[in-house]
A and B are shown apart, each in its own frame.
Chain A
Amino acid sequence: MSSEALLELAGVVKRFHGLAVVQDLAFNLKPGEILGLVGPNGSGKTTAINLISGVYPIDAGEIHLGGRRIDQLAAFRRVHLGINRSFQVPKPFRGMTVAENILVAAEYGGGQPDQEQILEEVGLTAERHRVASSLTVNHQKMLDLARALATEPKILLVDEIGAGLNPAELNVVADLLLRLANRNIALIVVEHLLKFLNRITDRVLVLSAGRRLFEGTLAEASADPEVVAAFLGG
């Protein structure tokens, strides 16, 4: 195992009813690094996030966090160790207010976060007393992120946060993710918006049919014939 890697995946496999949706997935992530996870629909990006966060169990392989094997741990234990995530379709506690959503994670997440700072950071201070179900989808995505930050993660898995945002909103989110990385939080960002990804990522991992197709910079990926073929269906 690499000594400086925070997260390490080796030979990770996930099957649904015999169909392998993630195959032999392996990569490392360093503290403060932003890794883009890209690929066509159905390539296994969100499944990879679910495997790392513990929403799904893996069928083979190993996942290590800071040298400790975590793939057998329940999701809430991984949260306590420093892994958290947002969701492609936001999943706030819909019956709770914004402040209560963050409070739950602050109370149970194992950290001692500054909840006011988190609210301010994601731009939800003015919405703090609003019930989550009454928020716009974009605000719900920010609330997902805020709830994850309230557990003081070392690794944040961000699943398609940019979808539906206008360019100005995308810039705000990009700035936020870069600030988090500057605080040494490692990020894995699943995204289809390559321009957005290009602004924030150090490297990307391209998946196709559950397998790693390419790893490098986004510019290199764009020039790779196999990657282009995977995206265009060639």
Chain B
Amino acid sequence: MTEIHVAHTERGIGVVTPVGRLTMVVTRQLTEAITDLVDGGTSKVVVDLGETTFLDSSGLGALIAGLKRCRQAGGDLRLARPTEQVTTVLSLTNLDRVLRPRASVEEAF
């Protein structure tokens, strides 16, 4: 089962960590997690993909929707620690032209 962990760094940045497969089945969970963060006043969010074993295009769509939420609230959404599969999917859809993943959660903001 895929789980989505949510945490805050000491600098007040939200960290969302999907553990397992980030696919169409869990995109709503991811979107809700990000929306909850934004609604709670945290508009700077890092999605930590280090524990994500597989990412499909619906997952990408959810990341883009999350990016929109954060930006509308005056913040931003950044990706961190992409696995090889994630990097492949990002470049296959040219999404790497839009979102450049960071090497670690700390570097994201």
Verify that A and B bind, or say they do not. Answer: no
